Amino acid sequence: MTGSAKGAVPRRLTAKEHSAGAASHWTTPRPVLRVFLKRREAGCAILAFGLALTGTACQGKHSSVTARTEGDTGSGSRPVSPGASLVRMNDPRASAQLLSGFYAVENNAWRWTAGKFSVSLYTPPAAAQRGATLMLAFSVSDAAVQKLGALTLTASIDGTALQSARYDKAGAYTFTADVPPSMLTADSVKVDFALDKSFRADGDVRELGIIAASVGLADK
């Protein structure tokens, strides 16, 4: 059968070629080998070009991203910390912002407070222009109501009272208070909370107030 070869046509080495030290029992005619090598070179060039484009695209895509670790201040003075304006009581990082009056985490969810407690909160980005809303998610226990009756909770910043609220039933609540822009010009603020009463549970030497779940400043 005659015709031009379309692929690598194998043939056996002659005894002379084999004895000369050829590495394989099969070889390929030289014209076919040259075509194969040219196609291989073209393929490698295309692959290299594609990789170069991919590398350029990745470089452009990621060049504007700056990785920051917790505590890195970047270009400003405020630490970059996820949720810095909102502190959840079960967050391991929360203890750095809970200044006083908070006890250890219980049930991996909440903390008892004392009669007075304070927290440091980072101000939201536009708070100096628009103000913010202070929010405290908490619960009043049955024991507190039985021992104390109604409780009044007051929040203040730098000695200026923001809001007071009265609670006379056990249950979950969210205390809210408007914070004017003039109080939020600094990177962070110290927020003080005070209850008009506190108690001690049977067998517990701690001064107890309410059960806090989270506290934070929210953009308006």
Across 127-152, b (16+ Cβ under 10 Å) vs e yields bbeebbebebbbbbbeebbeebeebe
pLDDT tens digit string along 119-146? 999 999 999 999 999 999 999 999 999 9
- Give the C-alpha separation, 41 to 119, whole Å: 67
pLDDT tens digit string along 36-60? 444 545 444 444 434 333 333 333 3
- Give the C-alpha separation, 173 to 167, whole Å: 9
Residue ranges of the chain assigned to CATH 2.60.120.260: 86-219
The lowest-confidence range among 14-18, 32-36, 63-67 is: 63-67
- Give the C-alpha separation, 70 to 170, whole Å: 38
Look up the CATH architecture of domain 86-219.
Sandwich (2.60)
- Residue 182: strand, helix, or coil: helix
Contact indicator for 5, 29 with CB cutoff of 8 Å:
yes
Residue with tokens 């913010």: 132
Is the pLDDT reported for residue 77 higher than 70?
no
User: Among 216, 219, 218, which Cα is nearest to 86's?
Assistant: 216
Contact indicator for 209, 113 with CB cutoff of 8 Å:
yes
Distances from the Cα of 6 to the Cα of 3, 37, 164, 219, angstroms: 9, 14, 90, 72
Contact indicator for 208, 199 with CB cutoff of 8 Å:
yes
pLDDT band at 94 (very low <50, low <70, confident <90, very high): confident
